[in-house]
Chains A and B, each alone.
Chain A
């Protein structure tokens, strides 16, 4: 830490503080108190979406990766096609396909319209959760494929030699080792997932991005809400990076 403060860094930090002060003093922030509750809700919804879709997506990614790494062809092929399609098309398009395409078909069937699911299908967030989850599963499934394949064969052979049943090998040896290998990329993928969440604003889910748009549209103030937005996302990214660094340190590093 001591050799961080080189003279040029002190100058740069001073310039950065000056810019921040200039932004705080010269730009318009008078709208902030009025929208504070909305901003809080928006941040909460963004974090909620991120946590739920990343967790669900990761749970789907495990079988996707396993099927591609070791599954029979009738499981490997669909998993591979799923990952290719998800990774090969823009998320915005997938989101609109689900919400406007599929969503506009549902009400044509009275059975769906009268079912208990309808109050949920009517809202926008289930579509957002499904689209983001599938997207995360698609990208992470590819990572997990590599991770499963990268687990040293000796470890599995040793387990087999000791007479461990297949499911136990998977649960006790293969999966933990694969997750450990995937962990460094998992942090990066989670940041990418965070950066994908603002797209849900286009299907009327009110996340922090949508709140900022609302401020822009209500007040015609252009840059300030966008700057706030950039800061919010940078802070969340910083927290994600720190959380994963902590997690990686807790798990003993790879044994050769």
Chain B
């Protein structure tokens, strides 16, 4: 079966694991992409949680600054933000280091990628989490307060679990965006899946084979993630009446 496929489409053998196949390269790229997506997602969640609380409970200055942050990030293309952050941030960090008499530090591609995509993710996560917190029925919180629950325990026992089930669809969407946005790092020369695919394709001239293979890999990530998030959502909604 496999042999027959290879004879029909000889370029398929280029996907083999060991050289002359490029399979290992693609997998390395995939691993890089997933690593960055995970990192960026984590950074985004941290910024998003802090941002949501800032927007809801912060002072007027905090709120306005956060509004500027989320507006700008959501209005400017990720590609442009990546270029600005990638060059400007590393430049500023290094200028500061040199000014304080230290040597320049090397910011690795992975760290820069995580930071850049994390800042982008953070803006969207702020809105998702803020919306989810607002959607927690006020009656529940009042009931908790009436029963004399301290604020921290209310947050932990009432707000968080109720908010989670509201936030999960939005957060799932953000994760899918994170995995796909890693492709943009190809433009700054970071060896993630899309760039690895590109290099393999232009070295072998088997464009369709490699692009389709990479597409299948991305699709696989999407489908598996969707499945996992569906399970998480079911868990988060346990005890809730099914909506009609």
User: A and B: direct contact (Cβ < 8 Å)?
Assistant: yes
A residues with CB within 8 A of B: 6, 8-9, 12, 84-85, 87-94, 96-97, 100-102, 104-105, 191, 194-199, 202, 209, 222-223, 226-227, 229-230, 233-234, 237-238
Known A9-B64, A234-B72; judge A89-B79 contact (CB<8 A).
no
**Given A90-B183, A233-B76, A237-B74, 17 extra CB contacts under 8 A:** A12-B65, A85-B219, A89-B215, A89-B219, A93-B214, A93-B215, A93-B218, A97-B215, A100-B202, A101-B212, A194-B77, A196-B77, A199-B79, A227-B84, A233-B75, A233-B77, A238-B75
For residue A9, which residues in chain B have a CB less than 8 angstroms away from its CB? 60, 64
Q: Does B149 contact A (CB under 8 A)?
A: no
B72 contacts which chain A residues (CB < 8 A)?
230, 234
Max count, chain A CB within 10 A of own CB: residue among B74, B75, B84, B205: B75
Q: In whole Å, how far is B73's beta carbon from the nearest beta carbon of chain A?
A: 10
Kindly list chain A residues whose C-beta atoms are within 8 Å of the C-beta of B88.
222-223
* A88:B76 contact, CB within 8 angstroms: no
Please, which residues of chain A bring their CB within 8 A of the CB of B61? 8, 12
Contact present for A97 and B78 (CB under 8 Å): no
A195 in contact with B78 given A8-B64, A202-B187 (CB within 8 Å): yes
Chain A residues lying within 8 Å of B186, measured Cβ to Cβ, are 92
Q: Which residues of B contact A90 (CB under 8 A)?
A: 180-184, 194, 218
Assembly CA distance A191 to B207 (angstroms): 31
Chain A contacts of B184 at CB under 8 A? 90, 92
Is there contact, CB below 8 Å, between B79 and A198?
yes
Query: What's the minimum C-beta distance from B1 to chain A, rounded to whole angstroms?
Result: 24
A227 to B87 CA separation, bound complex (whole angstroms): 12
Bound together, the chains give a CA A70 to CA B48 distance in angstroms of: 37
- Residue pairs across A and B with Cβ atoms less than 8 A apart, 7 shown, are A84-B223, A87-B222, A92-B184, A92-B186, A197-B77, A209-B79, A226-B83
> A191–B214 contact, CB under 8 A?
no
Q: Indicate if the CB atoms of A93 and B79 lie closer than 8 Å.
A: no
Instruction: Please tell me if B211 contacts chain A, counting CB pairs below 8 Å.
Output: yes
A contact residues around B78 at 8 Å (CB): 195
Kindly list chain A residues whose C-beta atoms are within 8 Å of the C-beta of B76. 195, 229-230, 233-234, 237
The total of Cβ contacts below 8 Å across the A-B interface reads 114
Measured between beta carbons, the chain A residues less than 8 angstroms from B208 are 97, 101-102, 105
B88 to A, closest residue via Cβ: A223
Is the Cβ of B212 less than 8 Å from the Cβ of A97? yes
6 closest Cβ pairs, A-B complex: A88-B222, A90-B183, A237-B75, A97-B211, A195-B77, A101-B207
CA distance A102 to B80 in the complex (A): 28
List CB contacts (< 8 Å) of B131-160 with chain A: none
Judge whether B198 is part of the interface by a CB distance below 8 angstroms.
Answer: yes
Closest-CB distance, B173 to chain A (whole angstroms) = 10
Return chain B residues, CB-CB under 8 Å to A198: 77, 79-80
| Cβ contacts under 8 Å, A194 to chain B | 77
Within the assembled complex, what's the spacing in Å between the Cα atoms of A94 and B215? 8
Cβ of B15 within 8 Å of any chain A Cβ, yes or no, is no
User: How far is it, in angstroms, between the C-alpha of A84 and the C-alpha of B224 when the chains are bound?
Assistant: 13
Cross-interface CB contact of A89 among B65, B84, B207, B218, cutoff 8 Å? B218
Question: What is the chain B residue whose CB lies nearest that of A99?
Answer: B207
> Taking A8-B64, A88-B219 as contacts, is the C-beta distance between A222 and B87 under 8 angstroms?
yes
* A6 with B60, Cβ < 8 A, contacts A93-B214, A198-B79, A226-B83 known: yes
B34 contacts partner chain A, Cβ-Cβ < 8 Å: no
A243 to B61, CA, bound (A): 29
Given A195-B76, A223-B88, A93-B194 contact (CB < 8 Å): yes
**Is A100 within 8 A of B194, CB to CB?**
no
Are B87 and A93 in touch, CB under 8 angstroms? no
| B194-237 contacts to A (CB < 8 Å) | 194, 197-198, 201-202, 205, 207-208, 211-212, 214-215, 218-219, 221-223
B77 touches A101 (CB 8 A): no
Q: Report the bound CA distance from A239 to B119 in whole Å.
A: 24
Which residues of A have CB within 8 Å of B87? Answer: 222-223, 226
Beta-carbon nearest neighbor of B198 in chain A: A96
**Is the beta-carbon distance between A223 and B84 smaller than 8 angstroms?**
yes
Cβ–Cβ contact B194 & A229, under 8 A: no
User: Which B residues lie within 8 Å of A209 (CB)?
Assistant: 77, 79-80
**CA distance in complex: A237, B73 (Å):** 11
* Chain B residues, Cβ within 8 Å of A8: 60-61, 64
CA of A12 to CA of B181, assembled, Å = 32
Smallest CB separation, A38 vs chain B (Å): 17
Cβ < 8 Å to A, chain B residues 73-130 = 74-81, 83-84, 87-88, 91
